[in-house]
Structure 1
Amino acid sequence: MSKPLILQTDFGLADGAVSAMKGVAHSVSSEIPIYDNTHYIPPFDIWSASYRLWQTINYWPEETVFVSVVDPGVGSDRKSIVARTKDNRYIITPDNGTLTHIYYHQEIVEVREIDEELNRLPSSGASHTFHGRDIYAFTGARLAAGIIDMEGVGPALSVENVERLPFYHPKLDDNNEKITGTIDILDVQFGNLWTNIERELFEKLGITYGDEVEVEIFHDSRQVYKNTMRYGRSFASTKVGEPVIYVNSLDNMAIAINQGSFAKAYNIGIGTSWRVVLK
């Protein structure tokens, strides 16, 4: 029985690129259930691709196959790989940092380089700019359909040598008074800031619902925001237009404006250069 195949790209849906990937997968086996994670990763944004994989991977059954194609280095000498997590979920992706969050949060137990002589769409050898269709969708479908296993992907690589983007782990100061983390991603539709600060770490500050929290945001060394806001159960914990800090769906701390976009209001970005301090 075929396993689910999940596609993620920065292609958008304005043309036939994603449809072509699905067609290739179904040409391998029409029984493969194919789903979309997102095709609206910002162009070339490997960090966001990494986060969106981690955001969703745990909600899919074991042996689900993910294909993530955000590949500004397509056609270069970067490797094409398949990674297996300790929970037996598979990610097919360029080795360009897309596995960063999975590496630090999920534990990768096996990585193999795709043998493109064996795992490439027939008659596509002259194409060097659409590996998402010709290599990743094709290999993902073969893996999901059980035509190949990990050994059939290609030669083994060292897990420790997987390409990773700079990563910052949240830190609690020695006096349990301040936590420094990063703004990992935006809740895109609403402009909320999702930090990498886990709820359990935040609770070590001794803060409870209704308390005021001092929030500072820095871009590199430049402070771009400083204010106090209420720690609420939801957005309704404050008046419309007021900021609130809350626990998001990944059990991490997030910052919002009730019925507004915090990111747009203060021009906030994402990644390790964006630090947030909670006191």
Structure 2
Amino acid sequence: MAKALVMQSDFGISDGAVSAMHGVAHSVEAGLSIFDLTHDIPPFKIWDASYRLWQTMKYWKEGTVFVSVIDPGVGSTRRSLGVKTASGHYIITPDNGSLTHISRTTGIVEAREIDESTNRLPKSGESYTFHGRDIYAYTGARLAAGAISFEQVGPKVDVSSLVELNVKESRIDGSQAEGIIDILDIRFGNLWTNIQREMFKELDISFGDALEVTIRHDGRTVYQNDMTFGRSFADTHMGEPLVYINSLDNLAVAINQGSFANAYGIGTGSNWEITFRKVKD
């Protein structure tokens, strides 16, 4: 029985790249169910690709195959991988850090290097710049369609050898919560952190309290201000900042009906640190 195939990339949809990937998958199995996670990952942002896989994968049925192509090293010696997660999902992707969030949370139980002698789009052997179409979409579709088993993806590799990006873990330090800006709520410009609600509760902070929020980039303070910890955007006026719990149960920062990220030039990753501290009465 065919499994769903879910694709993400940084290709955008202004040209035919994504359509070509769909076409390759469809040519493998015309009845294959093909879906898009997103193709709006910022160009070359491996960190964002890693996060979006983690954010989305758990809502898909066990056995679903994901193809993730954010690949600034295309054509280089970086490996092409197929992995099986502890949750029973499969991911086809370059070995460049795109599996970081999944590896640290869900876990990866087996990894295989794609054998391009068998798992490559026929008659594409001289192309080295579109592995998303020629290798990843093709291999992912074959795996999802049952044309190959996971073992036929290629030879097994040590899971501990997979490339991982640097991650700064969240923590409580005295009277403050510390973490990083894990991702942006892209359309609205909100900042989503890696500080979990359950951890934050250790500080005994209640809705309506004022918090001092400090953001540092590479050790330099780029933002510091007091704002309300609210249940929703209704707890502040338009244009005011607030701290809230996002849909993944982590702390987030926003401007009511504005883009916090654009207003202050905020990015994502372990070099974007954020702290929350209750303002004393």
Shorter-chain TM-score above 0.5: yes
Residue in 2 that maps onto 1:248: 246
Provide Cα deviations, 1:132-156, integer angstroms capped at 9, x if missing partner: 0111001000110111111111111
1:57 Cα shift? 0.5
Q: For 2:263 and 2:130, how far apart are their aligned partners in 1?
A: 37
Provide Cα deviations, 1:187-241, integer angstroms capped at 9, x if missing partner: 1111100001111111111111111111111111111111111111111111111
Unaligned runs of 5+ in 1: none
1:255 Cα shift? 0.2
| One-letter code aligned to 1:128 | Y
| One-letter code aligned to 1:71 | D
| Secondary structure class of the residue paired with 1:143 | helix
| One-letter code aligned to 1:201 | M
Provide Cα deviations, 1:116-171, integer angstroms capped at 9, x if missing partner: 01111111111111110111001000110111111111111111111011111101
TM-score normalized by the length of structure 1: 0.98
| Secondary structure class of the residue paired with 2:110 | strand
Q: For 1:149 and 1:250, how far apart are their aligned partners in 2?
A: 33
Residue in 2 that maps onto 1:110: 110
Residue in 2 that maps onto 1:203: 201
Q: For 1:50 and 1:262, how far apart are their aligned partners in 2?
A: 22
| Secondary structure class of the residue paired with 1:140 | helix
Poorly superposed stretches of 4+, deviation over 2 Å: none
| Secondary structure class of the residue paired with 2:87 | coil
Q: For 1:221 and 1:63, how far apart are their aligned partners in 2?
A: 42
May I ask how many residue pairs the two structures share in their alignment? 277
% identical aligned pairs: 61
Q: For 2:71 and 2:3, how far apart are their aligned partners in 1?
A: 25
Q: For 1:219 and 1:129, how far apart are their aligned partners in 2?
A: 33
Residue in 1 that maps onto 2:22: 22
Q: How does 1:74-113 map to 2 (within 5 A)?
A: 74-113=74-113
| One-letter code aligned to 1:277 | T
Unaligned runs of 5+ in 2: none
Q: For 1:109 and 1:70, how far apart are their aligned partners in 2?
A: 22
Q: For 1:247 and 1:84, how far apart are their aligned partners in 2?
A: 31
Residue in 1 that maps onto 2:7: 7
1:115 Cα shift? 0.4
Aligned with 1:221 (options 215, 219, 222): 219
Residue in 2 that maps onto 1:186: 184
